[in-house]
């Protein structure tokens, strides 16, 4: 009688779900400082919609050609095209473990389209990180910035004064000079209080509904970015640790 031999089970390779994060932060919240550290900690790339759009146009992909035609006509690129570009990008090997979306989504409609695109692959966003700083602090941080256009050197009327600014003086192109060349410094057009107020208003109007959309999933981390750098990072790490 032949002996019964159980069939050997092939080891199943369980694929780990990708880490998919959306990173939010108003201008001046320190996103540029902390994003590279998140990239390093999670070993996943930070994807900016602007960079992806340019790369798709340069590569001449199908969706890149559509985007180029729209931009050449002076029109805004549609949500469908942006979602198509993200869908193409995240198929790449560099995104095999996940990715961080920066600058997208900006509206609830874009959020829903992003969710649909990910769902088609059996995936979903599993971390939403929002860096939060009071508007009054951002106004002080940003509206105090002056730059030396030729070199990109940055100064601040409170935190990094040029040597040319006398104590107690009102900053002006006459007394705000680059330390190295003595050339006049300038303020960016969108670093004024009126322009910043509009940008912050737009940011809050766009972001709050998106955070509310993801809150029921328990994946939103709101980090107080108005404290010492290591404390901000500790809050970010705690949010990252919650990733499912």
Beta-carbon neighbour count of residue 36 at 10 Å? 10
Q: Which helix or strand (DSSP H or E) is residue 97 part of?
A: none
Contact 20, 126 (CB under 8 A): yes
31 is catalytic: yes
Q: Which helix (H) or strand (E) holds 219?
A: none
Give 227's DSSP letter. Answer: S
With beta carbons less than 8 A apart as the criterion, state whether 132 and 225 touch.
Answer: yes
CA distance 55 to 63: 11
- Whether residue 199 lies in the annotated active site: yes
Answer yes or no: 14 catalytic: no
Spot the catalytic one: 31, 66, 141, 161. Answer: 31
195 prior amide bond cis, ω within 30: no
Q: Which of 37, 68, 106, 113 is catalytic?
A: 106
Segment (H or E) for 99 = strand 98-102
With contact defined as beta carbons under 8 Å apart, do 20 and 96 qualify? Answer: no
Helix (H) or strand (E) holding 20: strand 19-24
Length of the chain: 244
| Beta bridge mates, 221 | 129
188 flagged as catalytic: yes
Catalytic residue of the set 188, 198, 242, 244? 188
Catalytic residue among 54, 113, 153, 199: 199
**Which residue out of 54, 68, 113, 145 is catalytically annotated?**
145
Q: Which residues are catalytic?
A: 31, 106, 145, 188, 199
């Amino acid at each position: 009688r032949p002996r019964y031999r159980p069939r050997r089970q092939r080891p199943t390779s369980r694929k780990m779900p990708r880490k998919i994060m959306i990173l939010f932060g108003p201008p001046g919240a320190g996103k540029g400082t902390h994003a590279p550290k998140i990239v390093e900690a999670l070993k996943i790339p930070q994807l900016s919609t602007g960079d992806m759009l340019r790369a798709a146009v340069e590569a001449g992909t199908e969706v890149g050609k559509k985007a180029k035609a729209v931009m050449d006509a002076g029109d805004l690129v549609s949500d469908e095209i942006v979602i198509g570009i993200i869908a193409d990008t995240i198929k790449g090997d560099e995104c095999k473990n996940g990715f961080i979306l920066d600058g997208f989504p900006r509206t609830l409609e874009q959020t829903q389209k992003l969710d649909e695109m990910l769902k088609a692959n059996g995936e979903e966003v599993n971390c939403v990180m929002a860096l939060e700083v009071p508007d009054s602090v951002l106004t002080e941080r940003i509206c105090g910035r002056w730059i030396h256009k030729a070199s990109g050197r940055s100064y601040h009327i409170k935190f990094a004064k040029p040597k040319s600014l006398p104590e107690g003086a009102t900053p002006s192109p006459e007394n705000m000079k680059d330390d190295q060349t003595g050339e006049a410094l300038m303020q960016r057009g969108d670093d004024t209080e009126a322009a910043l107020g509009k940008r912050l208003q737009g940011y809050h109007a766009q972001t709050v509904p998106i955070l509310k959309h993801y809150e029921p999933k328990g994946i939103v981390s709101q980090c107080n970015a108005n404290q010492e750098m290591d404390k901000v990072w500790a809050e970010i790490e705690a949010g990252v640790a919650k990733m499912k």
